[in-house]
């Protein structure tokens, strides 16, 4: 994400935030019977969608990961989380360091239990050629980071290795450069004969952002197009000439939908739709080099004879929308396209070819990896270990809760020539909200509260495109799940009472809560803890 505060793994941070309410029991580390602790490879793409079928265009990922591992169908991004697994500050690498997290996150935890740790690619936003060494990111045995303002420039990347000064790779394709660095770190890891963690974070399929229009996450030229379609490797530029954004019910709908600024979007013209289809094709093309990267990593692990003792995690920081709810390309909303994302895991005892329905989130990743490393789990972790084995899945059906919360602070800026400071000037200062997903076999709800006093409630079992806001004045809904809709909302509000982390909360005698974010006000009825 070009404007998120921190990325996922060593930041695991973006422009919004999420938490997960899960098991009632204690956290139990995942441990193998083997005395040899497993290796962990973590591959993190940037802005990859699940709901526009990007995985259908990645044959190596299907061959090596989906067919040989488990696809988690109900995995949700946890924006603005970090690998401390505790809710982090907003503000990029400088704030991450200032808050003391540089000595208190995943690579440090793993090194404490004897792992070598390696990382290449994007680590944080606002991690720049000027501040990379004040201080260096801690916890890495070997590192080669992408640095702003060149992070999102596919043909003009700058990397910074270990304690060395930054090096420009102008004219070379960023994902290919990164793939070579990842394979080099694999060689180093195997030579060291210790269990290892390797993080690989290409920027694809993020939009292309030239270095002359972005610095520390801010645009220099407010009248220029900041985020343009991603650039594929030349060998992939001809692929998928007929691919278009899937025409789901919520794609450029005739009737307005959503809330706040989303509801104000004009219907996209034929020219706009055609360009966005091109944008979509270039996302698919840019992912092909990532697909090849996965193939080369798996082949290298197999060559060294360690594939079967290595866990491979593949995911992304957040999802993406193009045309849904009439929106220009972007990812700042709480709708399903933006928060329900790919997660694939391959490794010892992980079922092959399984599609898991269990609800998981990014905050579960750190406890999962800590458990695999046989490291002590911390009481301040917000997530719990992801089920990996058939036994785990059986236990999860009995113990895991089904609630995911997502927060977003600040502005929204759409991408492409019709977005951001483009033709529609779709730069929105108040995109602050808190949202809740409740998912089970019986119900499938989305509830959001915006810092402009608007609320949304969707039943995704009957309205998967989230087009019918049951709380909008046009809706005639009076009941849901056999209960009065007010009772449902009361229960959902109870799960959002931690909104003091989002806005300033004031309790009143009339049993309401006023929440303010600068000049924005909203009200939430104090929950009565009604049971669904």
Q: Check: CB of residue 515 under 8 Å from CB of residue 521.
A: yes
Largest CA distance in the chain: 68
- Average pLDDT for 472-480: 88
Structure tokens at 484: 């009065």
Domain boundary (345, 379, 398) is at 398
Sign of the CA dihedral 109, 19, 31, 346? negative
Q: Say yes or no: 362 and 447 in one domain.
A: no
Residue 320's nearest CA partner among 345, 284, 290 is 284
CA distance 320 to 8: 16
Q: Say yes or no: 26 and 119 in one domain.
A: yes
pLDDT of residue 420: 67
CA distance 511 to 526: 6
Identify the domain containing residue 517 by its residue range.
440-525
Q: Say yes or no: 337 and 217 in one domain.
A: yes
Q: Say yes or no: 181 and 305 in one domain.
A: yes
CA angle at 76 for the pair 344 and 431, rounded to the nearest 5°: 140
Q: Say yes or no: 332 and 191 in one domain.
A: yes
As beta bridge partners, residue 208 has: 228
pLDDT of residue 217: 42
- Share of residues in the chain with pLDDT > 70 (%): 80
Which is more confidently placed, 383 or 138?
Answer: 138
Q: Check: CB of residue 452 under 8 Å from CB of residue 260.
A: yes
- Average pLDDT for 365-391: 93
Is 423 inside a domain boundary?
no
CA 485 to chain centre: 31
Q: Say yes or no: 93 and 172 in one domain.
A: yes
- Beta-carbon neighbour count of residue 444 at 10 Å? 19
Stretch (H or E) spanning 515: strand 512-517
Query: Mean pLDDT for the chain?
Result: 85
pLDDT tens per residue, range 207-252: 999 887 654 444 444 445 678 999 999 999 999 999 999 999 999 9
CA distance 76 to 65: 19
pLDDT of residue 359: 94
Q: Say yes or no: 393 and 467 in one domain.
A: no
Q: Say yes or no: 347 and 489 in one domain.
A: no
User: Which residue matches tokens 């030239």?
Assistant: 210
pLDDT of residue 466: 98
Q: Say yes or no: 165 and 314 in one domain.
A: yes
């Amino acid at each position: 994400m070009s404007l998120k505060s921190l990325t996922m793994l060593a930041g695991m941070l973006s422009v919004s935030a999420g938490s997960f309410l899960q098991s009632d029991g204690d956290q139990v580390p995942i441990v193998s019977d083997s005395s040899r602790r497993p290796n962990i490879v973590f591959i993190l793409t940037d802005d990859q969608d699940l709901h526009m079928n990007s995985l259908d265009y990645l044959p190596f990922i299907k061959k090596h990961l989906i067919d040989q591992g488990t696809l988690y169908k109900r995995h949700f991004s946890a924006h603005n989380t970090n690998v401390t697994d505790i809710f982090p500050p907003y503000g990029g690498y400088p704030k991450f360091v200032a808050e003391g997290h540089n000595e208190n996150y995943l690579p440090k935890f793993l090194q404490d239990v004897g792992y070598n740790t390696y990382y290449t690619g994007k680590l944080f936003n606002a991690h720049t050629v000027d501040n990379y060494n004040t201080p260096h990111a801690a916890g890495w045995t070997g590192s080669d980071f992408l640095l702003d303002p060149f992070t999102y420039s596919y043909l003009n990347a700058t990397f910074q290795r270990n304690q060395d000064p930054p090096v420009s790779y102008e004219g070379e394709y960023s994902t290919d450069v990164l793939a070579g660095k990842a394979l080099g770190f694999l060689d180093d890891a195997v030579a060291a004969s210790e269990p290892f963690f390797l993080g690989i974070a290409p920027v694809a399929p993020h939009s292309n952002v030239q270095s002359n229009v972005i610095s520390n996450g801010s645009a220099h030229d407010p009248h220029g197009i900041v985020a343009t379609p991603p650039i594929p490797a030349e060998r992939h530029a001809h692929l998928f000439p007929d691919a278009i954004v899937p025409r789901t019910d919520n794609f450029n709908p005739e009737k307005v939908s959503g809330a706040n600024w989303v509801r104000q979007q004009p219907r996209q013209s034929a020219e706009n739709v055609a360009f966005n289809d091109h944008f979509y094709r270039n996302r698919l093309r840019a992912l092909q080099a990532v697909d090849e990267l996965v193939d080369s990593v798996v082949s290298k692990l197999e060559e060294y004879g360690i594939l079967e003792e290595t866990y491979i995690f593949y995911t992304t920081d957040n999802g993406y929308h193009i045309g849904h709810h009439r929106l220009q390309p972007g990812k700042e909303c709480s709708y399903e396209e933006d928060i329900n994302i790919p997660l694939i895991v391959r490794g010892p005892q992980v079922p092959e070819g399984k599609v898991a329905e269990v609800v998981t989130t990014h905050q579960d990743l750190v406890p999962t990896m800590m458990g695999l490393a046989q490291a002590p789990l911390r009481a301040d972790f917000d997530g719990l270990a992801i089920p990996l084995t058939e036994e785990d899945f059986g236990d999860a059906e009995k113990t895991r809760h089904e609630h995911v919360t997502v927060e977003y602070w600040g502005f929204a800026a759409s991408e492409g020539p019709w977005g951001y400071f483009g033709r529609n000037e779709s730069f929105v200062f108040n995109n602050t909200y808190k949202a809740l997903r409740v998912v089970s076999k019986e119900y499938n709800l989305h509830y959001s509260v915006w810092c402009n006093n608007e609320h949304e409630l969707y039943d995704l079992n009957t309205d998967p495109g989230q087009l019918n806001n049951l709380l909008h004045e046009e809706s005639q809904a009076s009941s849901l799940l056999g209960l009065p809709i007010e009772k449902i909302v009361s229960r959902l509000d109870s799960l959002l009472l931690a909104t003091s982390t989002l806005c300033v909360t004031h309790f009143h005698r009339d049993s309401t809560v006023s929440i303010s974010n600068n000049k924005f006000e909203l009200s939430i009825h104090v929950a009565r803890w009604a049971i669904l």
